[in-house]
Amino acid sequence: MKIINMNEIKEDLILQAAQILTDSLPIGWPTLDDAIDEIKERLIPENVLLAAVEDNEIIGWGGILPQYNGNVFELHPLAVKENMRRNGVGAAIVKALEDAARSRGGN
């Protein structure tokens, strides 16, 4: 498994990430279009979106959004493919996001 920056991925991988979001959190993102819009809206330099990739397939992803003048980072969202849960994928994403938050001045 490799953790990558989602700003560097191609459209087909964004579609995979959107499908994971819809499958994992259908109340928040009931359609694939809703999930794609969420991802594209969050792909701005202030935010960090990271994906766990295995064999050129996204297996989970998450993001951090700066709050309170960049002093606090909100984890939003975190989604892992159902068949990959309980394998450390979410933990690896969160650790990478925590490292990114610290590198941006978060505590």
**Long-range contacts made by residues 85-93, C-beta under 8 angstroms, separation at least 24?**
89/1, 89/52, 89/59, 89/60, 90/60, 90/62, 92/1, 92/3, 92/52, 93/3, 93/50, 93/51, 93/52, 93/60, 93/61, 93/62
Cα 57 from Cα 13, distance rounded (Å): 7
Report pLDDT digits (tens) over 13-57.
999 999 999 999 999 999 999 999 999 999 999 999 999 999 999
Q: Which residue type does 33 have?
A: D
User: Rounded to two decimals, what is the model's pTM?
Assistant: 0.94
Output the pLDDT for position 5. Answer: 95
